[in-house]
Amino acid sequence: MKKIIAFIGSSKGEKSSTAQFARLILENVLEIYEGETDFEVITSDKVNIKPCRSCLNCFRYCQCPQDKDDDMTAIKEKLLEADFIIWGSPVYAHQVSGQMKTLIDRLSYWLHIYKLAGKPGMVLATTSSTGHIEVLSYLAKIMLYLGMKAVKGYWVITDFQGLTPCEEDMQKKGKEAAAVIADYLSGKKKVTASPVSEKIFKALKSSILLSRKEKPGEYEIWEKEGYFECDSFSDLLEKKGV
């Protein structure tokens, strides 16, 4: 059973056009992918994610004290179990929504410990006119630093009521996006290292080696997972069985 998880940074629930776009893509995946698939679309209003308090416990000890008080433990488990991850955000003032950013802030320390390395992802944005480039590139950048690969980004124009004036465009992109996802679920395509992901790995490895005292948690994970033995990000992916 392949699992797909979509997190949408909109509080409009069922009425969110970003969530509707994600659902359309995933329903198309169910139609074209022959294997068993299960998907979940989570909108930010359905979960409790507290804003980061900047205590730095996560970077130091790889634990967030707030995880026990909100839904982050469950969200992290879903992300870890997923075979494919979608992040979607409405454009808010030319960037991701605050709801989307709050999730990313709470996952910040995962940017250093490759929990999601090798997972394919897709990024989505909806907008009434502009800002989608900023949103898509930001979400793709975060996935890259998590060791994932945003294999594609899609955006659609909507209006403030969550209606899609360009229905035809959304249907077309929905089909295209589903075909991309199906290729990753079937193993026809997989995430590989890129020159940028190699550079990130090199910089991260030197920084973790130098900051054992300040961030013992991160160092411990690198040691336990055998990341220090890897000479490249490509080695790390191999170690993770990607």
What end-to-end distance do the CA atoms of the chain give, in Å?
Answer: 17
The piece of 84-92, 113-121, 179-187, 220-228 that touches ligand FMN (CB under 6 A) is: 84-92
d(CA 214, CA 196): 26
3-state secondary structure of 173: helix
Which is closer to ligand FMN, CB of 19 or CB of 237?
Answer: 19
Q: What is the spatial distance between Cα 117 and Cα 111, in angstroms, rounded to a whole number?
A: 10
The correct pick among 16, 28, 37, 44 for binding ligand FMN (CB under 6 A) is 16
> Shortest Cβ distance from residue 178 to ligand FMN (Å)?
19
Instruction: Please report whether residue 45 would count as binding ligand FMN according to CB under 6 A.
Output: no
Q: Residue 158 in contact with residue 128, Cβ under 8 Å?
A: yes
Q: Indicate whether 23 belongs to the interface with ligand FMN (CB under 6 A).
A: no
Kindly identify the residues of this chain, within the stretch 92-131, that bind ligand FMN according to CB under 6 A.
Answer: 92-94, 126-131
Residues in the chain: 242
Separation CA 111–CA 59 (nearest Å):
10
- Among the candidate windows 44-52, 87-95, 109-117, 146-154, which touches ligand FMN by CB under 6 A? 87-95
Contact residues: ligand FMN, CB under 6 A: 10, 12, 16-18, 90-94, 126-131, 158, 160, 162
